[in-house]
Structure 1
Amino acid sequence: MRIPRLLLAAPHSGAGKTTVALALLQRLRALGLRVQPFKVGPDYIDPTHLERAAGRRPYNLDGFFLSEEGLLSLFQHGARGADLALVEGVMGLFDGKDPLGRVGSTAQVAVLLRAPVVLVVDAWGMAGSIAPLVQGFRGFRPGVEVVGVVANRVGSERHAEVLQEALSAIGLPLLGWLPRDPTLEVPERHLGLVLAGEVEPPLEALGQAGAWDLEALLRLAEEAPPLPSVPPFLPEPRPSRVRIAYAWDQAFRFYYPEALELLEALGAELIPFSPLHDEALPQAQGLLLGGGYPELLARELSENRAMREAIRGFPGPVVAECGGYMYLAQGLWVGEAFYPMAGRVPGEARMAERPVLGYREVVALRDGPVARKGEVYRGHEFHYAHLPPSPSPAWRQAGGEEVEGYTDGRVLASFIHLYLPAQPQGARRFLALAERAGFGRL
Structure 2
Amino acid sequence: MTGLARGLIVSAPRSGSGKTVVTIGLQRALSRRGLRIGGAKTGPDYIDPAFHAAATGRPSCNLDGFAMAPATIEALATGIAAEADLIVAEGAMGLYDGLARGAATGATADIAALLGWPVLLVLDASGAAHSLAAVAHGLATFPGAPPIMGAIVNRCASPRHRRMIEAGFARIAVPLLGFLPTDARLEMPSRHLGLVQAGETADLEARIEAMADCIAERVDLDAVVAGAGRLRAQRIPSSQRRLGSPVASAGQEPRETPAYAGVTVVEGDRHMTEPSRLRPPGQRIAVARDAAFAFLYPHMLDGWRRAGAEIAWFSPLNDEAPADDADSCWLPGGYPELHAGRLAGNARFLAGLRQFAATRPVHGECGGYMVLGQTLADSEGKVHRMAGLLPVETSFAQRRMTLGYRHVAWREPTGFAERGEMRRGHEFHYATITGGAPANLADLTDGEGNPLPPAGHRIARVTGSFFHLIA
**Range that drifts further, 175-184 or 115-124:** 175-184
| Distance change in 2, residues 1:344/1:100 (3 Å) | closer
Displacement, 1:101? 9.4
Partner of 2:211: 206
CA deviations over 1:182-236 (Å, ceiling 9, x no partner): 3421122125211112214411211111501111111111x44643423212459
Gaps of 5+ in 1: 423-442
Amino acid aligned to 1:257: P
Partner of 1:395: 442
Which residue of 221, 224, 233 corresponds with 1:217?
A: 224
The 5 Å alignment of 1:140-219 reads 140-200=142-202, 201=204, 202-209=207-214, 210-219=217-226
| Distance change in 2, residues 1:136/1:100 (3 Å) | farther
Amino acid aligned to 1:362: V
Amino acid aligned to 2:395: R
Distance in 1 (CA, whole Å) between partners of 2:370 and 2:189 is 25
Amino acid aligned to 2:83: G
**Range that drifts further, 191-200 or 269-278:** 191-200
Contact kept, 8 Å, 1:138 with 1:144, in 2: the verdict is: yes
Which residue of 459, 462, 468 corresponds with 1:408?
A: 459
Partner of 1:353: 399
Partner of 2:260: none
Partner of 1:96: 98
| Distance change in 2, residues 1:26/1:165 (3 Å) | farther
Distance in 1 (CA, whole Å) between partners of 2:114 and 2:75 is 11
Which residue of 305, 312, 316 corresponds with 2:360?
A: 316
**Range that drifts further, 206-215 or 55-64:** 206-215
Tell me which stretches of 4 or more aligned residues in structure 1 moved more than 6 Å. Answer: none
CA deviations over 1:106-137 (Å, ceiling 9, x no partner): 11111111111111100123222121111011
Displacement, 1:171? 2.4
Tell whether 2:469 aligns with 1:418: yes
| Distance change in 2, residues 1:331/1:52 (3 Å) | same
Gaps of 5+ in 2: 235-270
Partner of 1:233: 275
Distance in 2 (CA, whole Å) between partners of 1:372 and 1:100 is 26
The 5 Å alignment of 1:111-130 reads 111-130=113-132
**Range that drifts further, 353-362 or 188-197:** 188-197
SS at match of 2:178: strand
Distance in 2 (CA, whole Å) between partners of 1:208 and 1:245 is 41
Tell whether 2:273 aligns with 1:273: no
Partner of 2:292: 251
CA deviations over 1:85-105 (Å, ceiling 9, x no partner): 111000011111227996111
Tell whether 2:343 aligns with 1:301: yes
Distance in 1 (CA, whole Å) between partners of 2:21 and 2:102 is 26
Amino acid aligned to 2:201: V
Displacement, 1:54? 1.4
Contact kept, 8 Å, 1:101 with 1:107, in 2: the verdict is: no
Distance in 2 (CA, whole Å) between partners of 1:225 and 1:48 is 23
| Distance change in 2, residues 1:68/1:296 (3 Å) | same
Displacement, 1:243? 1.5
Partner of 1:55: 57
Contact kept, 8 Å, 2:322 with 2:329, in 1: the verdict is: no
| Distance change in 2, residues 1:101/1:357 (3 Å) | farther
Count of residue pairs the alignment pairs up: 417
Partner of 2:419: 373
Partner of 2:41: 39
Contact kept, 8 Å, 1:369 with 1:409, in 2: the verdict is: no
Displacement, 1:162? 3.9
| Distance change in 2, residues 1:181/1:297 (3 Å) | same
Distance in 2 (CA, whole Å) between partners of 1:247 and 1:224 is 38
| Distance change in 2, residues 1:401/1:236 (3 Å) | closer
SS at match of 1:230: strand
| Distance change in 2, residues 1:375/1:237 (3 Å) | closer
Which residue of 336, 358, 381 corresponds with 2:381?
A: 336
Partner of 1:12: 14
SS at match of 2:275: coil
Identity of counterpart residues, as a percentage? 40
Distance in 2 (CA, whole Å) between partners of 1:150 and 1:344 is 50
**Range that drifts further, 59-68 or 402-411:** 402-411
Partner of 1:434: none
Displacement, 1:174? 1.2
Contact kept, 8 Å, 1:28 with 1:35, in 2: the verdict is: yes
TM-score, with structure 2 as normaliser? 0.84
Displacement, 1:390? 3.4
Contact kept, 8 Å, 2:315 with 2:321, in 1: the verdict is: no
Amino acid aligned to 1:359: Y
Displacement, 1:268? 1.0
Contact kept, 8 Å, 1:237 with 1:267, in 2: the verdict is: no
Distance in 2 (CA, whole Å) between partners of 1:336 and 1:218 is 51
The 5 Å alignment of 1:100-111 reads 103-111=105-113
Distance in 1 (CA, whole Å) between partners of 2:142 and 2:437 is 45
| Distance change in 2, residues 1:101/1:158 (3 Å) | farther
Contact kept, 8 Å, 2:390 with 2:459, in 1: the verdict is: no
